[in-house]
Amino acid sequence: MYTKYSAWNLFRQGLSRRPWPRVWEHHELGSSYDVVIVGGGVHGLATAYYLARNHGITDVAVLEKSYIGSGGSGRNTAIIRSNYLTPEGARFYDRSVKLYEGLAEDLNFNVMFEQRGHMTLAHSDASLRTMRWRAEVNKLEGIDSSVISPDAIKELAPFLDVSNHPRYPIVGALWHPPGGIIRHDAVVWGYARAANALGAHIHQDTELVDIEVSEGRVTGVQTSRGPISSGIVVNCTAGWASLISDMAGVEMPIVTRPLQAAVTEPVKQFLHPVIVSGSLHTYVSQTARGELVFGASVDPFASYSTRGSLEFTTGLATHVLELMPAIANMRLLRQWAGLCDMTPDFGPIIGPTSVDGFYVDVGWGTYGFKAGPVAGESVADMIANGRPGELISSFGLDRFEAGTLTAEKGAAAVGH
């Protein structure tokens, strides 16, 4: 079933005039699996892949109520970086950047990772101070990250207005060369194809409707297509995470909020790095096709709605034009929204819960796409070894009771 993508196979397939085989197979829903993963986004699919590849655990079902990538994984602005504020955060995301760097080869799927550099602008002495702090933490973790001057900013991004005319002049930036953008759909499809090739079943149009717990242990799930028995259930549902955990009787400190983004018509390449301004609540990158992709911070209310709003586009335009007045005549083509599972400390929640066999990989807020590979790898290790590994030990659910929060807001609120 698995056809390797290569120049030779492209040539052979072209000559044969037969269609390419399906990227992943359709399976009947099994009555039992060793592991049931809920959510067919990058986290669920990466977990299925690393369970099979690293641990030989292949009796795995991924349940997706819609189509794979229909959640945040197909709606994000695809920014990858590791210049976080806390040592545990920086270490964790750095492992993900490393996995992303080798992902196209590993999955035999072109995920189009472009390490164009990631620049977070400072508009005040206070934000410059946080950036210096971040740069020092990053350097200690071996991550390429430094504070640069307005002149250096102008060289890397000539279209930015670095004069003292704007309301919030640019006084410096945190520059992170390994950061960049990726093709998010390709990441999802690549993991799905590779996980399926190793034996995992991917069930689209299959909604989890209940989780069965007996004497403190998970025993199975009910789905829209029938029951499945399983001793291990993993919640990888991001914006729906608290609804799914409620089914197992596990309360999560998560509030779901919409996050909006927008894209312009394509234009000639002029913006190489990803530009972020926390103070102006906006960020922008240019895709390989030439469109500008804009994002912002989460909407200021809890909701499961994925409708865009006019307030978002008008606010976005105001802020973006402060940074790049030259793009005033470009047209916006599209806007959209996705759901973000926000935690109080802007850190994820990965680990076991009070119900044996029920694991969570949630709390990904506005920044979880970049963590897909490392979270999938870490969750797979945790299931295989029965306990969380070092890299995720700070992200357990019990930190909210113990009061050992992660404090990542300074590097995770905007810019994703």
Counting contacts by CB under 6 A, is residue 180 touching ligand FAD?
no
Smallest separation (angstroms) from ligand FAD to the CB of 154: 25
CB within 8 Å of 122: residues ≥ 6 apart: 128, 131, 147, 170, 171, 172, 173, 174, 279
Cα distances (angstroms) measured from residue 283 to each of 106, 263, 363: 30, 12, 22
First and final C-alpha spacing in the chain: 37
Counting contacts by CB under 6 A, is residue 399 touching ligand FAD?
no
CA gap 272, 262 in Å, rounded: 18
Smallest separation (angstroms) from ligand FAD to the CB of 313: 13
Counting contacts by CB under 6 A, is residue 411 touching ligand FAD?
no
Site stretch for ligand FAD (CB under 6 A), options 33-41, 47-55, 169-177, 320-328: 33-41
Counting contacts by CB under 6 A, is residue 394 touching ligand FAD?
no
Contact 149, 122 (CB under 8 A): no
CA gap 254, 305 in Å, rounded: 16
CB within 8 Å of 214: residues ≥ 6 apart: none
Nearest to 295 by CA among 126, 146, 158, 413: 413
Counting contacts by CB under 6 A, is residue 43 touching ligand FAD?
yes
- The DSSP annotation for 326-357 comes to GGTTPPEEEEEEEEEEE-TTS--EEEE-SSBT
Nearest to 87 by CA among 343, 349, 368, 394: 394
Smallest separation (angstroms) from ligand FAD to the CB of 163: 29
Smallest separation (angstroms) from ligand FAD to the CB of 52: 17
Q: Out of 64, 88, 322, 345, point to the residue binding ligand FAD (CB under 6 A).
A: 64
Give me 138's structure tokens. Answer: 């990053």
Site stretch for ligand FAD (CB under 6 A), options 67-75, 157-165, 326-334, 377-385: 67-75
Nearest to 204 by CA among 225, 183, 222, 184: 225
Angle between helices 184-197 and 42-55 (to 10 degrees): 40
Nearest to 194 by CA among 4, 18, 66: 4
Q: Out of 366, 378, 394, 406, point to the residue binding ligand FAD (CB under 6 A).
A: 366
Site stretch for ligand FAD (CB under 6 A), options 171-179, 189-197, 315-323, 366-374: 366-374
Site stretch for ligand FAD (CB under 6 A), options 10-18, 21-29, 233-241, 323-331: 233-241
Give me 141's structure tokens. Answer: 């973790």
If the CB atoms of residues 92 and 150 are measured against ligand FAD, the closer one turns out to be 92
Q: Out of 36, 135, 261, 392, point to the residue binding ligand FAD (CB under 6 A).
A: 261
If the CB atoms of residues 107 and 162 are measured against ligand FAD, the closer one turns out to be 107
**Binding-site size, ligand FAD (CB under 6 A):** 40
Site stretch for ligand FAD (CB under 6 A), options 15-23, 166-174, 310-318, 363-371: 363-371
Site stretch for ligand FAD (CB under 6 A), options 2-10, 39-47, 314-322, 324-332: 39-47
Counting contacts by CB under 6 A, is residue 208 touching ligand FAD?
yes
Binding mask 130-159 for ligand FAD (x = CB under 6 A): ------------------------------
Give me 269's structure tokens. Answer: 């390449």
Counting contacts by CB under 6 A, is residue 359 touching ligand FAD?
no
Smallest separation (angstroms) from ligand FAD to the CB of 42: 5
Footprint of ligand FAD on 68-97 (CB under 6 A) = 70-73, 75-79
How far is C-alpha 281 from the chain's CA centre?
19
Contact 392, 403 (CB under 8 A): no
Contacting positions for ligand FAD (CB under 6 A):
38-44, 63-66, 70-73, 75-79, 207-208, 236-240, 244, 259, 261, 295, 338, 340, 364, 366-370, 416
